[in-house]
Amino acid sequence: MIDFTFCVGGPAGKGIKTVGFNFGQVMLHHGYHVHDNDEYPSLIKGGHNVLWARVSDEKIFSHNSKTHLLLALDRNTVLKYQDHIEPGGVILFDEKQVKLNNEQKTRNDISYLPLPLLEIALEVSGNPIMLNTVGLAASFAMMGADIKVYHEVLKDQFANKGELIVKENQDTAQAGYNIGLKHRPELDWQFPKRERSVDQAYFLTGNQAITYGAVNAGCKLLCSYPMTPASSVMDWYGQLEHSHQVVLKHTEDEVAAMNMVIGAWHAGTRAMVATSGGGFVLMAEALGYAAISEAGPVIFVSQRPGPATGIPTFTGQGDLRFVMHAGQDEFPRIILAPGDVEECFYLIQEAFNLGDRFQMPVFVLSDKFLSENHFTTPELDDQKVPIEKGKITFDPLSENYQRYDTNAENGISLRTVPGTPGNCFMANSYEHDEHGYATEEADMRIMQVNKRNKKVLKIQQELPMPTLYGNLDAKLTLICWGSTKMPALEAMRELKASGVNVSVLHFSYLFPLDWDELKKLVSQFQKTLFVEGNQEGLLEGVLKQYCRFEPTDYHRRIDGRPFYPEELVKKVNEMMMNTSSPS
């Protein structure tokens, strides 16, 4: 099995993300599975950026902690990451820009390879920014990859800038490849081109999949105010405005975004907001209006560590309880959390169906790790999730139309849109009677609260239980939600290879669930390890509250970084030896 990780690091502005994306494209076209993972500071300019890209001839679930080839565009990258290089690995850098003395070279089991990268960039193109193109091409030479594939990627990348620019980039890459071949140390790395399978159809981020899924679901309006790591949803959605006849509205603030989406839903248009925790804070008041007017907007929240601004360009899972309880008083809502790019595409479509069918807010929780990183993804089926609009009519209505009928089956009353004959009701923020007119009568208040909450029973019957990967009789089960699924599955594979039988229980439908059925399921596990990217164990607490479930142990991370599969493997092995304590 080929399992190789390339890393590139350097100052912001040196094209770190571009190098990583181009590396992934080349490896994808070589027929390999690819996953990248980047880190960057929340600075408009400056700071240190780094990106890892893992390559394998088998399906990749996650990144890992190993690095084989490091392209260092400054000295800081070498000093910071040289201790993470696998024995036999290579650090590639420019011989003039990165000066290292013998004391700074702390490893005797790797190769330090200075090359004239900047000199070649200036000689061929006259442009110092193309040092990264030279370095990446030299890296492909280290790997034994086909430079012609990189030429094709550059052709696609610069096609709109004309043939001269394309040729200049290709010539620069070829020169970098040649110098890499000339100075290549003795390595057994070889990445021959393979037959590309359907499992390697796309190289997408979670936010791209969210965007494409939303448009496929008939979402005609995205209202948002930019906030990392959700901002790229706006970018991708905006690119589809003309081709798919959708509308992107960059609102003046987050409150306006939520109010516009609620209004669009009442007008019969599928709409959503995309934000992060700090932006959703401002939307909470409007969320209450969506609840009491029984609107079903979709709210995409890509999590990052807080509180307040926190560390805004890193990842975490700290907003679950926040979205569960945001808003005035109590009211039902639905919460989903995709675990990978495929689930992003399909679950966002499910979210629109659920919002329309149950006429309540629906949250889709992601995080920076899933939202912004690229993953090799199988071909996506745009027919898999049919559009379901729920109880809506465009036929003429009687004069006694009751939008908030307290006798409605499952609490879901008939919905209509403006312009429908006989459609006359209020949709304001007050408690109301069946027609929507404000009331403070105790009996009607009780009936309307019960009507809205009656929907929960139907939702609990329909939302799927968590997915079990592996066997029910496994010695230990890792329990996780959202993007933690990926390192958990990678850890499961590694553990099974060493003879340790484990399974993974993954929640992508978080709330509400059939708690009695869930209690029966989790009670069958022998040992359990709850894995979450927050401090208190938020989903773990939900299961304690509703199922009286106590895991055997837990493992949490709060530093803004995603879990490494290796740390989960280590934790499981400790538990198997009964030497662990909660960490």
Q: Enter the pTM of the model.
A: 0.95
The confidence score (pLDDT) of residue 181 equals 95
Neighbouring CB atoms inside 10 A of 456's CB total 18
pLDDT of residue 582: 52
pLDDT tens digits, one per residue of 172-186: 999 999 999 999 999
For residue 581, name the pLDDT band (cuts at 50, 70, 90). Answer: very low
- 389-430 tens-digit pLDDT: 999 999 998 888 999 999 999 999 999 999 899 888 889 999
- Crossing angle for the helix pair 231-239 and 206-216, nearest 10 degrees? 50
Is the model's pLDDT at 580 over the cut of 70?
Answer: no
In DSSP terms, which residues pair with 274 in a beta bridge?
300
pLDDT at res. 423: 85
The single residue listed with the structure tokens 């639905």 is 334
274 contacts: CB under 8 Å, gap ≥ 6: 210, 222, 224, 230, 231, 233, 234, 237, 300, 302
- What are 111-119's contacts with CB under 8 Å, separation 24+? 111/185, 112/78, 113/183, 113/185, 115/179, 115/180, 115/183, 116/179, 117/93, 117/176, 117/179, 118/94
Q: 């800081």: which residue's tokens?
A: 76
Given a cut of 50, is residue 471 above it in pLDDT?
Answer: yes
pLDDT of residue 398: 83
* C-alpha–C-alpha distance, residues 568 and 491, integer Å: 6
Q: Please tell me whether the peptide bond between 464 and the residue prior to it is cis, using omega within 30 degrees of 0.
A: no
Residue 538 is predicted with a pLDDT of 98
Q: What is the pLDDT of residues 118-138, one digit of tens each?
A: 999 999 999 999 999 999 999
Mean pLDDT, range 241-262, rounded to an integer: 97
pLDDT, residue 512, reads 98
pLDDT in tens, 48-72: 999 999 999 999 999 999 999 999 9
Contact 407, 383 (CB under 8 A): no
Are 191 and 145 a contacting pair, CB within 8 Å? yes
Average pLDDT over residues 249-275: 97
Give me the mean pLDDT over the 463-478 stretch.
Answer: 96
Encoded tokens for 345: 């595409």
CA separation for the pair 568, 476 (Å, rounded): 12
Q: Is residue 199 predicted with pLDDT exceeding 80?
A: no
If you ran DSSP here, which 8-state letter would residue 258 be given? H
Average pLDDT over all residues of the chain: 95
Angle ∠(78,80,81) on CA atoms, nearest 5: 70
Query: CB of 81 within 8 A of CB of 7?
Result: yes
Residue 574 is predicted with a pLDDT of 95
Percent of the chain with pLDDT over 70: 99
- The domains found in the chain, sorted by start residue, are 3-200 (3.40.920.10), 202-377 (3.40.50.970), 409-462 (no CATH), 467-576 (3.40.50.920)
Question: Which residues make beta-bridge pairs with 103?
Answer: none
Cα–Cα distances (Å) from 95 to 84, 125, 131, 210, in that order, read 21, 19, 12, 43
Contact call for residues 412 and 388 (beta carbons, < 8 A):
no
pLDDT score at 266: 96
Predicted confidence band of residue 201 (pLDDT cuts 50, 70, 90): confident
**Distance of alpha carbon 26 from the chain centroid:** 23
Report which residue type is found at 56. S
d(CA 86, CA 79): 15
Per-residue pLDDT tens over the stretch 354-378? 999 999 999 999 999 999 999 999 9
DSSP 563: P
**Rounded mean pLDDT, 153-168:** 94
pLDDT tens digits for 78-132? 999 999 999 999 999 999 999 999 889 999 999 999 999 999 999 999 999 999 9
Greatest alpha-carbon pair distance for the chain in Å reads 88
